[in-house]
């Protein structure tokens, strides 16, 4: 499956899960900031990705978990260098970009874009 | 006592499907407010759609809770889809069929069909809606919030329905 084909399927999933218009779903759209996703939507998206692509997504693989509550990874509301290293190692589909300069933990969710999902699915399908 | 919107569970296939019914009676107070006579308009008792939604949420919620032995606190988190095409009125019976679509540690999704039975047309069910829902397991919420240890979701009133339906 090509990246474009994956994107089209992901787009359909997000239109359905988030009640947004197709043209709002661009590769660079942030799931929370631009498309209004809330926490339960992330679970909905995981279920829909599993079904659409025939993949299994273990808890914590797509979206990081237990980061905020771990003092090794977060101090004073900012993700520590160890936390950033962990995100890079465990979440290679995420693009940290300019966020690394001011790594506020509250803004981690905003880093999840449509492109993040596409890259994640691409890697999962390649590993199948 | 929690406000129950199902009267009886009529079928349970654990982890797959739960079917419940709700009998509508003019003795239920809300019918007198929804809608009362006004001006030239006579009183029009119809069941508010939000209560039909709650009926499906309870049906599907019990299915999800049962699948994990009622250890999880199952809370309605999202109405993915809700379509209703007809009114339900006193003397009729609603049948909710909830099917489990996905279940994991964080929560579950269900698909639901709402059917209507009218005693003037015995044995004939009319499908009047589709209600798809998502549930969260509160103790595994993504926000990391803490909830009381006891399972306040599946209290006495739900246990009574389960027991009276022969599945408790």
Q: What is the pLDDT of residues A19-57, one digit of tens each?
A: 999 999 999 999 999 999 998 999 999 999 999 999 999
User: Mind telling me how many Å the CA of B135 is from chain A's nearest CA?
Assistant: 8
Please tell me if residue A50 touches chain B, with a CB cutoff of 8 Å: yes
User: For residue B71, how many other CB atoms are within 10 A of its CB?
Assistant: 11
Residue to mutate among B74, B77, B108, with most A CBs inside 10 A, is: B77
Domain segments of chain B: what residues? 8-30+41-153
Is residue B34 part of the annotated active site? The answer reads yes
User: Mind telling me how many Å the CA of A71 is from chain B's nearest CA?
Assistant: 14
Q: What is the pLDDT of residues B120-168, one digit of tens each?
A: 998 899 999 999 999 999 888 766 678 888 888 888 888 899 999 998 6
Q: What is the pLDDT of residues B38-72, one digit of tens each?
A: 999 999 999 999 999 999 999 999 999 999 999 99
pLDDT for the residue numbered B58: 97
Please tell me if residue B109 touches chain A, with a CB cutoff of 8 Å: yes
Q: Number of structural domains, chain A?
A: 2
- Contact between A77 and A105 (Cβ < 8 Å): yes
What's the topology of domain B8-30+41-153?
Thiol Ester Dehydrase; Chain A (3.10.129)
| Average pLDDT across chain A, whole number | 93
**CATH code for the domain in which residue A117 is found:** 1.10.1200.10
Q: What is the pLDDT of residues B67-102, one digit of tens each?
A: 999 999 999 999 999 999 999 999 999 999 999 999
Q: What is the pLDDT of residues A81-95, one digit of tens each?
A: 999 999 999 889 998
**Can you give the C-alpha Rg of chain A in angstroms?**
15
Interface of B with A in 41-80 (CB under 8 A): 77-78, 80
Q: Which of B107, B110, B11 is nearest to B68 (CA)?
A: B107
Q: Tell me, yes or no, whether A16 and A44 share the same domain.
A: yes
| Beta-carbon separation of A65 and B141 below 8 A | no
Domain that residue A55 falls in: 1-60+112-128
ipTM value: 0.84
Q: How does DSSP classify residue B81?
A: E
């Amino acid at each position: 499956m090509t990246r474009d084909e994956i994107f089209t399927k992901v787009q359909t999933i997000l239109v359905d899960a988030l009640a947004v218009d197709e043209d709002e779903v661009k590769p660079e759209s942030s799931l929370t900031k631009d498309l209004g996703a809330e926490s339960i939507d992330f679970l909905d998206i995981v279920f829909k990705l599993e079904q659409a692509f025939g993949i299994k997504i273990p808890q914590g693989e797509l979206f990081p978990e237990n980061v905020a509550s771990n003092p090794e990874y977060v101090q004073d509301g900012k993700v520590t260098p160890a936390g950033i290293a962990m995100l890079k190692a465990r979440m290679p589909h995420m693009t940290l970009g300019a966020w690394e300069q001011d790594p506020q933990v509250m803004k981690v969710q905003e880093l999840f874009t449509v492109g993040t999902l596409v890259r994640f699915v691409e890697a999962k399908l390649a590993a199948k | 006592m929690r406000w129950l919107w199902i009267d009886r569970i009529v079928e349970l296939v654990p982890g797959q499907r739960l079917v419940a019914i709700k009998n509508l009676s003019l003795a239920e107070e809300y019918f007198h407010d929804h809608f009362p006579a006004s001006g030239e308009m006579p009183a029009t008792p119809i069941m508010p759609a939000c209560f039909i939604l709650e009926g499906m949420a309870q049906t599907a919620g019990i299915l999800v809770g049962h699948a994990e032995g009622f250890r999880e606190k199952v809370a309605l988190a999202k109405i993915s889809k809700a379509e209703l095409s007809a009114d339900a009125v006193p003397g009729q019976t609603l049948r909710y069929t909830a099917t489990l679509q996905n279940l994991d540690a964080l929560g579950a999704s269900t698909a639901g069909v709402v059917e209507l039975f009218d005693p003037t047309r015995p044995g004939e069910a009319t499908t009047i809606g589709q209600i798809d829902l998502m549930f969260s397991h509160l103790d595994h919420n993504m926000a990391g919030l803490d909830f009381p240890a006891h399972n306040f979701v599946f209290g006495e009133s739900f246990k009574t329905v389960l027991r009276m339906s022969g599945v408790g």
